[in-house]
Chain A
Amino acid sequence: MSTDPNKLAFNDGWQYAPAPESTDHVKIDDQYELFIGGEFVAPEEGRYFESINPATEETLSSVALASSADVDRAVKAARKAYNGAWSKMKAADRAKYIYRIARILQERAREFSVIESLDGGKPIRESRDIDVPLAAAHFFYYAGWADKLEYAFPGRKPEPLGVAGQIIPWNFPLLMAAWKIAPALACGNTVVLKPAETTPLTALKLAEVIRDAGLPPGVVNIVTGAGETGAAIVNHEDVDKIAFTGSTEVGRLIQRSIAGTGKKYTLELGGKAANIIFADAAIDQAVEGIVNGIFFNQGHVCCAGSRLIVQESVADEVVRKLKDRMETLIIGDPLDKNTDIGAINSAAQLETIESYLRLGQEEGAEMHQSSCAVPERGYWCRPTIFTGVSQSNRIVQEEIFGPVLAIQTFRTLEEGLTKANNTPYGLSGGVWTDKGAKIFKMTQGLRAGVIWANTFNKFDPTSPFGGYKESGVGREGGLHGLGAYLRLEE
């Protein structure tokens, strides 16, 4: 790569002073119990685990560890509520309860944003501007479907399934809870949900909201724990449907576990999306799209654009502008309003990312990182790009789940498509070109469930999301997200 003359200087001169979000109005209890049957109850085996702040490594709270007995209690409570109040309720009344959840979330938005950032490490700007508003919007959207289901399925009389067991990841804790709970409730089901073990707090606060909203006890149950708790939910006989978002590896285990049980399931798994930039793209906006695609939320995004595939004639320009843009990204305290990139969610995840950084260099790729300062305590990874890689590099094939981008070039549209599709994953993809016909040709050819043209990482409750191939099965969001929670057979 040529050395660039005429360099821009970003690091000296005027700096931004710390701009901390205030936390004195936020309440986190020292200890949280399980939310079963409309109340917070102690775990039967009396065991707890800690949730820590990945930016400071300090303990935030002690959270109950649900055993299989606790999971059984929760499923029983969900079944009781399903057979009782919830299935007897008019659909329009179900809707009103879900609207209440949305409204209360809006009222308490700032508190939720702060807790989300403390627990998971994502910048307050993200949780405040994206996670929490979107979560409320998902409840609003699905509330509206509750009494309108017959319009979504012509020729069918939709019925709920029963009890849904839901397991969600740590990258968008509250938002993933909304994605799961809202459609399940709208369709008349009841829920047992397990948040990720590193980010249980906003799900527990959501339990408070659900209780305050007056939902009948047992309609939503929150059981906290790790892999074993999740397995107990998956394997429970009286769960009718499993919804899982997480790694492909665990998704495979789940599919095997429930084989032959008749349980319905949706899996939203990993990805290694290609972000494809043509020479006739609006380059400056495409660079922003790259940054959006892989660096925000610390790259902890299943649909992250973790492979850049750029047409060779503009590759140098794109990489140069990308490096300049990386220099203006601020890594730091998630609660600082100027932070762009927060903490890596856990020590384990940081170790995974760092092992890939070592691997990439061992494989002979050239690594470049931004030069920003990082705090001393906590888990941090600077935005990183690798050049000099190709399809056969492991860092190009495997999901890293961090702010690490692998960059390749292509020459023809067909080559770009081939490279993009040459992966067992198929969750998402990006296409950047000013030419409309080319967009549609690319979207036609890309084997991915969500394709962003001249944009990236856009989410909306009305827009279906989910993957092809090993990125999972089923769709969440939009009209298409309803079917997974309904019995539609004649």
Chain B
Amino acid sequence: MTMTGSTARVPVAKTYKIYIDGKFPRTESGRFFTLEDKDGNVLANICRGSRKDFRNAVVAARKAFPGWSAASAYLRGQILYRIAEMLEGRKEQFVAELHLQGQSKRRAQKEVDAAIDRLIYYAGWSDKYQQVFSAVNPVSSSHFNFSVLEPTGVVSVLSPDDSGLLGLVSNIAPVIVGGNTCVVLASTKMPLCAVSFAEVLHASDVPAGVVNILTGYREELTGQFATHMDVNAIIVCDDDAQVAKDVQYQAADNIKRVIQRSDTDWSKEAAQNPYLIKDTQETKTTWHPIGS
């Protein structure tokens, strides 16, 4: 306590919770881990998410899926654009959080700008990827035959551990613009922006349950993300080959689609393209006679 008579304002520290079904609960396990900066100062107590949190999140994602997948492509694009608007408006907070977690201010600024632009990029695909990837097939019988893409369903995402924001956004955007809902595990090393990003989603007309964000230890939760029978696809961003192998093995129980994204520099333009949307889409082909 200083005796200089300082009247500096006492700041209010933020509690970092998780995001499930459009709400911000604490982990039902009550556990936490401490996030420290490079000097050992406590930045925050982060929720150590449990398998029950994951279970609840999958229930929420499944419940949200029919409505979100039935929303028009135009509406989904509008919402993604809105997320970009909201993130742009709160840039400083995200730069500060990345800086606290060890990044230089300049790099943090570039990363946040890139995350916003990535959202705009995928917003623009919402009503176009169908045109690029669908087909009318010239079958030889008198049938009208067409193939369209459909979202696969609930997607679990192990986002890159070494990216505080851009990796997270780069994996969420293509999943949801395609009509899927998701449960996302944030980086354990740099979890702060993921929670703040949940707040941005919440302010952007994203329906409850479309995106659910958990924090916690990867070793504890990867198995859950990979084995849950009501998850249709898993995206694993992990450069460790053993982790990727285990996930693929465990995901086989319900033939989950496994999408591996390792060794990716998310800051490069090559890291954004419509094939990331296609990764979580199914193809449906319909036949109908042509005749009177």
A-side residues, CB < 8 A to B, are 92, 95-96, 99, 137, 140-141, 143-148, 151-152, 413, 435-438, 440-441, 444, 461-462, 478-479
B117, B124, B125, B144: most-surrounded residue (chain A CB, <10 A): B124
* Closest 7 A/B residue pairs (Cβ): A144-B124, A440-B290, A437-B289, A479-B131, A437-B291, A440-B144, A462-B127
A140–B77 touching, CB < 8 Å: yes
Can you pick out 13 interface pairs between chain A and chain B where the beta carbons lie within 8 Å of each other?
A92-B120, A95-B120, A99-B81, A144-B77, A144-B128, A145-B128, A148-B125, A148-B128, A151-B274, A437-B289, A437-B291, A440-B289, A440-B291
Which of B131, B274, B290 is in CB contact (< 8 Å) with A444? B290
Q: Collect the chain A residues with CB atoms within 8 Å of residue B249's CB.
A: none
Is the CB of B132 closer than 8 A to any CB of chain A? yes
Is B33 positioned at the interface, with any CB of A under 8 Å from its CB?
Answer: no
Q: How far is the CA of A433 from the CA of B124 in the complex (A)?
A: 36
- B123 on the A face (CB < 8 A): yes
User: What residues on B are CB-neighbors of A479 within 8 Å?
Assistant: 128, 131-132
Query: Given A99-B81, A479-B132, are A144 and B291 neighbors across the interface (CB < 8 Å)?
Result: no
CB distance from B134 to the nearest CB of A (A): 10
Residue on B nearest A440 in the bound complex, by CB: B290
Q: Say whether, besides A145-B128, A151-B132, A437 and B290 are in contact (CB < 8 Å).
A: yes
Binding site for A on B (CB under 8 A): 73-74, 77-78, 81, 117, 120-121, 123-128, 131-132, 144, 274, 288-292
* Interface hub of A96, A140, A143 (most chain B Cβ within 10 A): A140
Chain B residue contacts of A95, Cβ below 8 A? 120, 124
Given A96-B120, A462-B131, A479-B131, check contact A437 B125 (CB 8 Å). Answer: no
CB nearest to A147 among chain B residues: B121
CB distance A438 to B120 under 8 Å? Answer: no
Which chain A positions have C-beta within 8 A of B123?
A: 144
Tell me if B132 and A140 are in contact (CB < 8 A): no
Complex Cα–Cα for A454 and B290 (A): 16
Contacts of B74 in A (CB 8 A): 137, 140-141
Q: How far is the CB of B48 from chain A (nearest CB, A)?
A: 39
State the CA gap A461–B127 with chains docked (Å).
9
Among A147, A148, A441, contact of B291 (Cβ-Cβ < 8 Å): A441
Central interface residue in A145, A435, A437, by most chain B CB within 10 Å: A437
Asked if A462 and B128 sit within 8 Å, CB to CB, the answer is yes
Query: A441 to B121, Cβ gap below 8 A?
Result: no
A146 and B126 alpha carbons, distance in the complex (Å): 14
Q: Are A144 and B292 in contact (CB under 8 A)?
A: no
| Interface contact B124-A143, CB-CB below 8 Å | yes
- The residue of chain A having its C-beta at the shortest distance from the C-beta of B78 within the complex is A140
Q: How far is the CA of A66 from the CA of B244 in the complex (A)?
A: 66
Bound state CA distance, A413 and B292, in angstroms?
Answer: 8
Q: Are B125 and A144 in contact (CB under 8 A)?
A: yes
The reply to whether A441 and B292 form a contact with Cβ atoms under 8 Å apart is yes
Inside 8 A of A99's CB, which chain B residues have their CB? 81, 120
A291 to chain B, nearest CB (A): 25
Residues of B within 8 A of A137 (CB): 74
Q: Is the CB of B289 within 8 A of A436?
A: yes
Q: Besides A146-B124, A441-B291, 15 other CB < 8 A contacts?
A: A92-B121, A99-B81, A137-B74, A140-B74, A141-B74, A145-B128, A147-B121, A147-B124, A151-B128, A152-B132, A413-B292, A437-B289, A437-B290, A438-B291, A479-B132
CA distance A96 to B117 in the complex (A): 9
| Structural contact, A437 and B131, CB atoms closer than 8 A | no
Contacts of A151 in B (CB 8 A): 128, 132, 274
How far apart are the CA atoms of A148 and B133 in the complex, in Å? 14
B288 CB contacts on chain A under 8 angstroms: 436-437, 440
Which chain A residues lie closer than 8 Å to B127 at the CB level?
141, 144, 461-462
